[in-house]
Amino acid sequence: MAHHKSAIKRIRTSEAARLRNRNNRSRMKTALKKWRDLIEEGKLEEAKLAFPKLMSHIMSLPAKGTLKKQTASRKISRLAVELQKAFASAQSQPTA
């Protein structure tokens, strides 16, 4: 257990940051799951409309210190590719 006043405060602030980061990551994962569910259900137009909001949410995390900026950019890039592939496969499939 910490004995110095500064160490005790550091433990408190670290715990608060850990909980805040965990909440932010959890919200991001939930949003990603909902977005991917839209794609799997074939609701590509809804997914396309929801993408900017998801992108905004992910890009807000580096400002809060939850993710690094490059990590957020990489996630968004991969999601954009995923959306493009979904549209491409929908175009190539014949409609019955």
- Lowest pLDDT segment from 30-34, 62-66, 82-86, 90-94: 90-94
The pTM of this model reads 0.83
SS3 content of the chain, % helix, strand, coil (to 5): 85, 0, 15
Summarize pLDDT for 34-85 with one digit per residue, the tens. 999 999 999 999 999 999 999 999 999 999 999 999 999 999 999 999 999 9
Q: Cα dihedral angle (22, 26, 63, 77), rounded to 10 degrees?
A: 140
- Check residue 26 and give its pLDDT: 97
Alpha-carbon gap, residue 75 to 95, rounded angstroms: 31
- CATH number of the CATH domain containing 22: 1.20.58.110
User: Domain range holding 78?
Assistant: 5-92
- Check residue 14 and give its pLDDT: 96
**76 exposed, middle or buried (CB, 10 Å; 0-12, 13-18, 19+)?**
middle
- Number of domains the chain contains: 1
Please say whether the beta carbons of 46 and 37 come within 8 A.
no
